[in-house]
Amino acid sequence: MKQKLTYTLVLCLLVLVGCTASDGECRKEKVVVMGVSLYKTVFDAKKEAFVSSPTKEKMTIKGLNNDSILYQEQSLSTFNLPLRALQSTSAFVLQRGILEPDTIVISHENVNQFISLECGCFVYHTIKSTATTTHQIDSLVIENTYVQNVPENHLRIYYRVN
């Protein structure tokens, strides 16, 4: 009986111990991006007031001074923008259709968050302020200041209706 018990224990334990080895890979969502949604503002004659509603636009988007295009002539109502991890200002060029592009500037604080040895350090952001050119964009509204590795909307862009 003692021998059987010992062998059973040994087998179970070897299985358990073997299962605990880390493979050194990160299993967490690594993407930290600012969620943006597009709105348009129109005059509602019935209500005799300006009203806003979500809109879908054909957009081309890239970072300022960055040749890599994030979205190329895509029909979007929401999209994600990667803020800079090592600088406190991120700027993006947004072109609606073939109209004159706008540049939006996001000022943010960066916070290094050590996740694990496998995942390294994530950089989260707190949006402090925004600015934009107003060729097509009417205004920007910060919806959520804290940018983490979870899908959320942080910024609303209000376009003028042409």
Residue with Cβ nearer another protein (42 or 116): 116
Q: Count H helices, E strands: the chain?
A: 1, 11
Nearest distance in Å: CB 15, another protein: 7
145: Cβ contacts below 8 Å, ≥ 6 apart: 126, 127, 128, 154
Nearest distance in Å: CB 44, another protein: 39
Q: Give the Cα separation of 12 and 7 in Å (integer).
A: 9
Residue 128 structure tokens: 């402090």
Residue 64 touching another protein (CB under 8 A): no
Residue 48 touching another protein (CB under 8 A): no
Nearest distance in Å: CB 98, another protein: 24
Write out the DSSP string of 58-116. EEEEEETT---EEEEEEEESEEEEPPPSSSSEEEEEEEETTSPPEEEEEEEEEEEEEEE
Residue 112 touching another protein (CB under 8 A): yes
Q: Residues 68-107: x/- map of binding to another protein (CB under 8 A)?
A: x-x-----------xxxxxx--x-----------------
Residue with Cβ nearer another protein (39 or 124): 124
Residue ranges binding another protein (CB under 8 A): 1-2, 5-6, 8-10, 12-17, 19-22, 24-26, 63, 66, 68, 70, 82-87, 90, 112, 114-121, 123
